[in-house]
Chains A and B, each alone.
Chain A
Amino acid sequence: MAAIYSLYIINKSGGLIFYKDCGTKGRMDTNDSLRVASLWHSMHAISQQLSPVNGCSGIELLEADTFDLHCFQSLPGTKFFVVCEPGTPHMESLLRYIYELYTDYVLKNPFYEIEMPIRCELFDINLTQAVQSDRVALLGR
């Protein structure tokens, strides 16, 4: 079964507001995850400028020999991306589902300050369930 390595949420200005390791492989320390997040934010912005036609919304999938990176950007500008083993299926649906969890358990939490790092236990719990491989398979249906 293909595994998910990690999950990131970046705010509109490119700051990492959430990071989670999902398995035993591919773990990163805080500094590295911050670096990956700001790198990705810039690469995403550059990819929009690379587009020869207008209206490009940036990189959605980056494929490499050792990992895949799926990215979903919401219209207001928050980016969600997941790093997983090459060929892991249903990642688009997972990202959309995480976006829903984010609206429910982060944005609706009156004590969450918008654009700030996410420390919401309910979000964490629901997210942990969502990334379990059998749940991810269900999302694909």
Chain B
Amino acid sequence: MAPVTPRSGDAIFSSIDRVNAELFTLTYGAIVRQLLTDLEEVEEVNNLLDQMGYNIGIRLIDEFLAKSGVSICVDFKETVEMIAKVGFKMFLGVTASVTSWDADGTCCSIILEDNPLAEFVELPDTCQGLYYCNVLSGVIRGALEMVSMKTEVTWTRDVLRGDDAYELQVKLLKQVAEEYLYKDDE
């Protein structure tokens, strides 16, 4: 089958249906608020947001692949670049940059200058431990797991906590090759 040429993040972003950004931002805010009310513990909210993100990610990966025409990446570096340049643009309308690669190319940082999820947010004193955008780290983890990469995604900088940018650390734990459950000699 002839490979389909990958499309740029901008091209996909302009061709798919979108909703009003404020509706999106406010809906997300309402969800986080409700979780805080229901669960009371900030740490549990962090976990649940991550879990929700994971559940989104395992479905979102297919849409990303179907609409971007992206095929197998040669290495983890290319994968993260794809997420930052195409993925973030396609789903959030922003681009991210990738920095701080470690020597063996398994750990890096994705930096977001602009984060539509947190547009109008100020964290109150009672929620200081909250990772407000924790859903995003879950999405990345879930999506990569579906293409055989076990990762750990954590926030290392957060504007809502007084830093100057949003920074996600993505660490590749294991690359599980696609395997069938039978062995050749059985």
Contact = CB atoms under 8 A, between A and B. Distances in A.
Given A60-B1, A92-B2, A103 B63 contact: yes
B120 interface: no
B62 interface: yes
Interface string B102-146: 000000000000000000000000000000000000000000001
A25 interface: no
B180 A96 contact: no
Contacts of A96: 4, 66
Contact of A104 (B2, B63, B72): B63
A14 to B, nearest CB: 9
A96 B1 CA distance: 11
Nearest to B55: A114
A122 to B, nearest CB: 14
B2 A103 contact: no
A51 interface: no
Contacts of A45: 180
Contacts of B65: 74-76
Interface in B1-18: 1-2, 4
Contacts of B58: 114
Contact of B1 (A72, A102, A107): A72
A99 B4 CA distance: 14
A74 B2 contact: no
Nearest to A97: B66
Contacts of A60: 1
B62 A103 contact: yes
Nearest to A112: B59
A108 interface: yes
Contact of B62 (A61, A78, A92): A78
18 contacts: A75-B71, A76-B61, A76-B62, A76-B146, A76-B147, A77-B178, A92-B1, A92-B2, A99-B62, A99-B66, A100-B67, A102-B62, A102-B66, A103-B63, A107-B59, A107-B60, A107-B62, A107-B63
Interface of A: 45, 60-61, 72, 74-78, 92, 96, 99-100, 102-104, 107-108, 114
Q: Which 6 A-B pairs give the minimum distances between C-beta atoms? A: A103-B63, A107-B59, A76-B146, A99-B66, A100-B66, A103-B62
Given A75-B65, A76-B62, A108-B63, 15 more contacts: A60-B1, A74-B66, A75-B61, A75-B71, A76-B147, A92-B1, A100-B66, A100-B67, A102-B62, A102-B66, A103-B66, A107-B59, A108-B59, A114-B58, A114-B59
